[in-house]
Amino acid sequence: MTKPQNKAIPKLVLSSSRDIPFHQLVLSQKNVRRVKAGLSIENLADDIYHRTLLQSLNVRAMLDADGIETGMFEVPAGGRRFRALEMLVKSKRMAKDQPVPCVVREAGIAEEDSLAENVMRVGLHPLDQFRAFSALIEGGLSEEDIAARFFVSVSTVRQRLRLASVSPNLLDVYGDDGMSLEQLMAFSVTGNHARQEQVWEQVNQGQHVPAYHIRRLLTEDAIEARDRRVQFIGIDAYTEAGGYPAWRWFRSWCWQRRRTCARIPARGAGQHWPCG
């Protein structure tokens, strides 16, 4: 009895890529993205001007009535990038004959390529944002620089950077979908990793635990920075000995209730918080 032979799996052949002058590109009507949402074309143009084009355009050769290539290429996938490049040309920040990296498609359906490029895209995870922002901070950028370059609010940058105070073990739990972002942020009220992990073990019993409950457990032993004990030994000595002043928790409390805080000092004994 002869043994059945396994069928050979066909090998993938990638589409060719080449640089095509911008004036030979036109936006295809087969691009499925019609609704304007998210990052504006102006912001995208500024980003491309700052760091150049990071992702190639998906193009197809245009044919005449006889099926002969005209030398022009339509762009069914990458329309926003095309319009951003077009804006750079109109504002004389890019030459109209600038070669543009393109992936040249031949097989398949143009609308399918456009749909796949948009549907298959996954937004950056908040934990990856934190790590990327941290690397940029270490590289010398300020929070304001990062916010301006990536078109997010400064508060978003600061919120992500607050994760630096959270235990790496809890960051891994969050990365594995073991807790919500709101729960993870609650742990940032203290930099005591051992206490954070202790509280997580305490509350991680299978049911959802509100973030405010985690904050309450982490701050139940905290005292206010204007407490007489803190004033007596000094805020630096108190925190170095493992103490936790409540100003940081109080700032989070104000933010959660959308109160207006005129000034919340980062440190200092005997100071108060003039919040509405």
**Per-residue pLDDT tens for 151-173?**
788 998 998 999 999 999 999 99
- pLDDT interval class at 183 (50, 70, 90): very high
- Ordered by start, the domain boundaries in the chain are 16-119, 221-276
Closest CA to 72 of 105, 104, 24, 110: 24
- Report the pLDDT value the prediction gives residue 85, as an integer from 0 to 100: 95
Q: Which residue has the tokens 């803190």?
A: 230
Among 261, 265, 269, residue whose Cα is nearest residue 225: 269
Q: What average pLDDT does the segment 220-231 reach?
A: 59
**pLDDT, tens digit, for every residue of 109-133?**
777 777 777 666 667 888 888 999 9
Residue 254 has pLDDT above 50, yes or no: no
- The whole-number pLDDT of residue 234 equals 63
Please tell me the least confidently modeled range out of 22-26, 115-119, 265-269.
265-269
Domain 16-119 has CATH 3.90.550.10: no
φ/ψ region of 242 (left if φ > 0, alpha if ψ in -120 to 50, else beta) reads left
Q: What is the DSSP letter of 248?
A: H
- β-pairing verdict for 69-77 and 16-21: unpaired
Instruction: Please give the model's pTM, rounded to 2 decimal places.
Output: 0.59
pLDDT of residue 184: 92
Name the band, by pLDDT with cuts 50, 70 and 90, for residue 80.
Answer: confident
